[in-house]
């Protein structure tokens, strides 16, 4: 973008003001650095990563070995009715297979015959295998797989949340910059209006101008004062709005120092700061929202597989080798306990309905994903068109500023020769001010359009 007259004027005004008041430029890149590092909402977005890690740990807990023990004893009327101890150590494995080691010791005069054991107790080592439902996928397998996928979802959502904060923070910065430039602009024109007013008074004293000109010059001074005061109010409000995004360590909020002024040549650096100057490398498949939706579909497909598995009959086979504690060196494969657990609902209405709902959820998410892909692509293209249009509009308005400035300079020369009036000069100056204000407005829209493109791309670069 070519160097603009208005930016040059504002830069000179800001530089002079900075030397007088010891002001310091607060660059946009530096500002975003504070927001990325210290803003609570960005930190809150980072909590999603910790949440995903906690969920993964929780799902892995389903595969933790488990130590169990149960002891019951009944003593009454000096009789040991029963004393029952059951202890076990279980190891769940990936494919639904469970390995179990146990020790039982039961005694008493009223112990059930099937629970009668040798005096030293009985040890067992066994395995339970699901033949139908739960062999290749079960709830704990699905939970662990989905917890791993959820990490990708949370990372994508964290990026989207962070981009949202940076987007709002950027809008506040651009608003501050626009209002700051307006204040400098109206201060300069108020100074011109006062100078012109004092000159008109001298001309009236000399009899070269009618006294009514002092009234018109005074109206212009008050009008400029009113414009300046309104701009100062907007600047103060934008400073406070910007302060919402300025924080230090330990969640300490800070207020924008009045000795700081916004980056003057922002139009030259904004694309590099937001990394929006090279969209050729942009891949929509790497977009956080697309990643989140795609991963959520994978999670739903895992639930669909689990629901399909529920259509199989439940058939669990178990085998346990039995031995007395001191007889492990003498294997007797004739001593064992086996079990078969079978169940199967006749109509499978609940299972079939659950599978159908799972398929519908997958289809619904796939439709959303397809729509979102097109939406993001079209939105990026529309924003690029908007940015190009705003650049052209700014260029046209800059030409208008130069033209109005030329006309004002010519009118002032004519006024000094007595061939023009104060009314015409004020009219020319009002047109110039309006065109300069419009440039500031268009620049603000230009910055907003770029940060909106950044939001659509959704690359927080944290």
CATH no. for residue 436?
1.20.1600.10
Q: Tokens 């959303």, residue?
A: 368
Same domain, 201 and 269: yes
- Kindly state whether residue 304 falls inside one of the protein's structural domains: no
| Rounded (10°) CA dihedral 215, 218, 224, 230 | -90
Quote the CA–CA distance of 369 and 365 in Å, as a whole number.
6
Q: Do 344 and 197 belong to one domain?
A: no
Whether residues 125 and 151 fall in one domain? no
Q: Report DSSP letters for 234-266, one per residue.
A: HHHHHHHHHHTT-EEGGGEE----TTEEE-TTH
* Domain co-membership, 343 together with 443: no
Residue 9, pLDDT score? 45
Length of the chain: 462
- CB crowding 129-157: b at 16 or more within 10 Å, else e: bbeebbbebbebbbbbbbbbbbbbbbbbb
Q: What is the pLDDT of residue 309?
A: 93
In a domain? residue 403: yes
pLDDT of residue 195: 87
Q: Is residue 303 part of a domain?
A: no
Same domain, 32 and 120: no
The pLDDT tens digits along the chain (462 residues) read 333 444 444 444 444 444 445 678 999 999 999 999 999 999 999 898 888 999 999 999 989 999 999 999 999 988 889 899 999 999 998 888 999 999 999 998 888 888 888 888 899 999 999 998 988 899 999 999 999 999 999 999 999 999 999 999 999 999 999 999 999 999 999 998 898 888 888 877 877 777 787 888 888 899 999 999 999 999 999 999 999 999 998 889 999 988 899 999 999 999 989 988 877 778 888 899 999 999 999 999 999 999 999 999 999 999 999 888 876 566 677 888 999 999 999 999 999 999 999 999 999 999 999 999 999 999 999 999 999 999 999 999 999 999 999 998 898 888 777 777 778 888 888 899 999 999 999 999 999 999 999 999 988 775
pTM summary value: 0.85
- Whether residues 129 and 220 fall in one domain: no
b/e map of 292-314 (b: 16 or more CB within 10 Å)? bbbbbbbbbbbbbbbbbbbebee
Which helix (H) or strand (E) segment holds residue 320: the answer is strand 314-323
Residues 226 and 344 in one domain: no
**What is the b/e burial string over 203-233, where b = at least 16 CB atoms within 10 angstroms of the residue's CB?**
bbeeeebeeebbebbeebbebbeebbeebee
Partner residues linked to 112 by β-bridges: none
108 plus 253 within the same structural domain:
no
461: left (phi over 0), alpha (psi -120 to 50) or beta: left
424, part of any domain: yes
Q: Examine the domain organization and report whether 150 and 259 are in the same domain.
A: yes
What pLDDT score does 3 carry? 39
Is 329 inside any structural domain? yes
Q: Please check whether residues 294 and 383 belong to one and the same domain.
A: yes
- What sign does the dihedral 349-351-354-359 (CA atoms) show? negative
Q: Which structural domain, as residue segments, surrounds residue 442?
A: 5-59+141-298+361-457
Number of domains in the chain: 2
- Would you say residue 241 lies in a domain? yes
In a domain, 408, yes or no: yes
Tokens of 314: 């439940």
Residue 263 within a domain? yes
33 shares a domain with 83: no
Judgement on whether residues 394 and 341 belong to the same structural domain of the protein:
no
pLDDT confidence of residue 362: 96
């Amino acid at each position: 973008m070519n160097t603009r007259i208005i930016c040059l004027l504002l830069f000179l005004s800001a530089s002079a003001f900075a030397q007088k008041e010891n002001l310091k430029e607060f660059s946009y890149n530096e500002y975003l650095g504070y927001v990325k590092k210290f803003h609570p909402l960005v930190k809150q977005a980072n909590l999603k990563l910790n949440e995903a890690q906690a969920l993964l740990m929780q799902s892995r807990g389903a595969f933790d070995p488990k130590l169990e023990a149960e002891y019951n004893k009944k003593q009454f009327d000096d009789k040991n009715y029963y004393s029952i101890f059951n202890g076990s150590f279980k190891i769940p494995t990936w494919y639904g297979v469970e390995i179990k080691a146990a020790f039982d010791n039961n005694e008493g005069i009223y112990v059930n015959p099937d629970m009668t054991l040798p005096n030293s107790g009985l040890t067992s080592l066994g395995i339970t295998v699901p033949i139908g439902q739960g062999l290749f996928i079960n709830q704990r397998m699905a939970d662990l797989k989905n917890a791993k996928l959820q990490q990708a979802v949370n990372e994508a959502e964290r990026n989207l949340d962070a981009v949202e904060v940076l987007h709002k923070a950027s809008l506040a910065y651009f608003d501050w910059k626009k209002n700051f430039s307006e204040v400098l602009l109206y201060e300069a024109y108020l100074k011109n209006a006062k100078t012109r007013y004092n000159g008109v008074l001298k001309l009236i004293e000399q009899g070269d101008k009618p006294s009514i000109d002092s009234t018109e010059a005074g109206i212009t001074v008050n009008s400029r004062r009113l414009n300046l005061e309104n701009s100062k109010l907007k600047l103060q409000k934008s400073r406070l709005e910007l302060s919402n995004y300025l924080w230090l360590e330990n969640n300490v909020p800070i207020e924008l120092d009045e000795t700081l002024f916004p980056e003057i040549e922002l139009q030259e650096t904004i694309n590099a700061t937001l990394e929006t100057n090279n969209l050729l490398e942009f891949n929509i498949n790497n977009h956080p929202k697309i990643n989140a939706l795609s991963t959520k579909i994978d999670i739903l497909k895992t639930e669909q597989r689990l629901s399909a598995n529920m259509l199989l009959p439940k058939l669990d086979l178990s085998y346990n080798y039995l031995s007395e504690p001191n007889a492990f060196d003498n294997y007797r494969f004739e001593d064992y306990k086996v079990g078969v657990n079978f169940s199967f609902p006749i109509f499978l209405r609940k299972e079939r309905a659950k599978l159908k709902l799972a398929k519908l959820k997958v289809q619904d998410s796939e439709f959303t994903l397809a729509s979102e892909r097109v939406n993001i692509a079209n939105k990026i293209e529309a924003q690029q068109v908007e940015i190009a249009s705003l650049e052209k509009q700014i260029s046209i308005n800059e030409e208008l500023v130069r033209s109005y400035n030329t006309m004002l300079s010519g009118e002032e020369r004519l006024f000094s020769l007595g061939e023009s009036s104060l009314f015409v000069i004020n009219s020319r100056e009002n047109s110039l001010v309006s065109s300069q204000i419009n440039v500031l407005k268009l620049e603000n829209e230009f910055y907003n359009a770029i940060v909106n493109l950044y939001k659509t791309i959704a690359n927080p670069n944290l």
